[in-house]
């Protein structure tokens, strides 16, 4: 989801889409057993959407998506 110099950016300077990717990645690797996501792909480019959806497909807990 992040590569090159973007890996070292402080969270405060991330764009809206980058903040969304970071938040979703953090949730997917957390110990939460339920994710409630309100329009999780807003502000994401097509490649990021695919990465997030792929991560959600392998997530072992329950996922509730609101669109």
What's the average pLDDT block by block, 10 residues per block, for the chain (67 residues)? Answer: 77 84 82 87 84 84 89
Please give the pLDDT value at position 19. Answer: 85
Please give the pLDDT value at position 62. Answer: 93
Please give the pLDDT value at position 54. Answer: 85
Question: CA 46 to CA 25: how far, in whole Å?
Answer: 16
Please give the pLDDT value at position 64. Answer: 92
Give Cα 54 distance to the centre of its chain. 10
What is the pTM assigned to this prediction? 0.62
Burial class (CB in 10 A: 0-12, 13-18, 19+), 62: exposed
**Which domains does the chain show, CATH number per domain?**
4-66 (3.40.50.300)
């Amino acid at each position: 989801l992040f590569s090159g110099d973007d890996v070292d950016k402080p969270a405060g300077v991330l764009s809206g889409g980058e903040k969304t990717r970071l938040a979703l990645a953090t949730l997917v690797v957390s110990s939460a057993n339920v994710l409630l996501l309100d329009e999780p792909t807003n502000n994401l480019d097509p490649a990021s959407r695919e990465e997030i959806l792929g991560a959600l497909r392998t997530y072992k807990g329950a996922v509730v998506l609101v669109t």
